[in-house]
Structures are given as C-alpha cells and as structure tokens.
Structure 1
Amino acid sequence: MSAVAEATRELLAALIESNDIDLEDLAAAIFTLPEELAGANPALVARSVGFQEVPLLMVREHLGTVDVPRVIRVLLLWNTVRPRSEIRHVYLHGAAVLRPDLAGHSYQEPEEGGTRW
C-alpha cells in the first residue's frame, strides 16, 4: 500500500472512530491535495474502505496555502444533530499546525504500527 493510501486510510479511520460516524450519514467527502501529491487518489482509498455510496471530490490546494508538505485534507459533509462543540477534528503527523485551535480535541493517534480501521 502506498504512503498516500495508508495516510488516507488512517485519517478516515480516525475521523470515523473519534466521531462515531455512520457512513450512511455522510452527504459527501472532499479531499484536497498539494501539488506534490497531484497523482495520488485518496478517493479510491475511501471507496475501498466503505465509502461506496458517498459522493467524493478531489481538488488541488492553491499553491502556497499549505504550510505542511504532503498533507492530505478531507472535509466530511456529515448529516448530524451533534453540536459543533462535540465534533472532534483530527490532525495527524504534524498537521495540527494548520489549526491548533481545533487540534486539541482529545483524539489520540494509534501507536506505531497500529491501525484502528
């Protein structure tokens, strides 16, 4: 499995598990990638881990807008009654610098070599 595929799988698993999301409640997922990952396809990975019925979109980040190299972002459009204050945002492997105000919402990365999904 490629590094991008592993990172995508890890990110999706962390989001789903830390928020207890039922895939039936997802309206869509939007992935963004920087220029150096332009050939990657996180949507294919999402399809392989259960997102078959979820509309997916991939877009390239604007040059100069991402301070973390090789970062994959995903925006889940989630139908939920849960208040924003209860939603856990997930930032892995140094990506917390993008939104330090949201990164401290008690998500714990799995131990080295461990997978949650």
Structure 2
Amino acid sequence: MSVRAVRGATQLDEDVREHMLERVEEMVRDVMAANGLEVDDFISIIFTATSDLVSEFPAYAARQLGFSDVPLLCARELEIERSMPRVVRMMAHVETDLPRADLTHVYLHGAAALRRDLSRVRSVPDE
C-alpha cells in the first residue's frame, strides 16, 4: 500500500451554500468512485476556494459524507489575475495500491478546463 495524492476541482455557478455543498460532495464522490476509494483510505484532504466563495467551508461537505475522523483543511486559493472564478480545489492524500500513473484526477464543470492533461473525461449518459 502506498501513499498517493489525488486532485480534484469543481466550479460553482453561484456562491450559494447548498450549491457549494452539492458541488463539493459530487467532486469528492467522483474522486472516490474513479479511484476505488473508501473513506478509510483517506489520510487527509486540503480544500482551497477562490476568494469569491464565502457561503460555506468546502470541508463541511466532506464531513457530511462521513469524513468525521479524517483531517480536513480549508485554505484560500491565490488571487491570480485572469484566474477562474468560483472554484473549489482539493488535494487528498490516500492509501492505495494504484500506481501514481493510474490515479484519476477529477475536474468537473468549468474546472475541467484547468487541467485537461491530468483529468480523464467523465462520460455523461445521453438523455
């Protein structure tokens, strides 16, 4: 078993508490599903949010998913000119048998444009 870091990011449409919780929960669940992870596999998670997001701590969404004894930290993303607005990022440290090259980093909604080189496109079924 190795310690690996897996990344994720999502963009919110607006800074509304329930929307923040939904988007962060979706990101965490997708990271878990894409990498075959359970809550017990997580060592810690660092969340960052852009300065235009103030409605809720992103870590609260993870707490609601059962991450009650996993250390979680929220921080402010750097304010860089031309950076994407309303983005929550995560870097999770996990125990896994997956080789680093086989980790799936999850970038959702507008944040998918941030790191197309790292993320694998999640297929959405036709409606």
TM-score, scaled to structure 2: 0.78
Matches within 5 A, 1:1-117: 2-64=18-80, 67-103=83-119, 105-109=120-124
Question: Structure 1 residues 92 and 47 mapped into 2: Cα distance closer, same or farther (>3 Å)?
Answer: same
Instruction: Note the C-alpha offset of 1:53.
Output: 1.3
- Distance (whole Å) between structure 2 residues aligned to residue 78 and residue 35 of structure 1: 27
Query: Which residue identity lines up with residue 47 of structure 1 in the other structure?
Result: R
Q: Which runs of 4+ in 1 moved over 4 A?
A: 109-112
User: Which structure has more RCO (C-alpha within 8 Å, separation ≥ 6)?
Assistant: 2
Unaligned runs of 5+ in 1: 113-117
Question: Structure 1 residues 43 and 109 mapped into 2: Cα distance closer, same or farther (>3 Å)?
Answer: farther
Query: Which residue identity lines up with residue 108 of structure 1 in the other structure?
Result: S
Instruction: Judging by fraction of residues, say which structure has more strand.
Output: 2
Unaligned runs of 5+ in 2: 1-16
Q: How many residues align?
A: 111
- Distance (whole Å) between structure 2 residues aligned to residue 77 and residue 25 of structure 1: 9
Identity of paired residues, percent?
Answer: 37
Provide the aligned C-alpha RMSD in A: 2.1
Instruction: Judging by fraction of residues, say which structure has more helix.
Output: 1
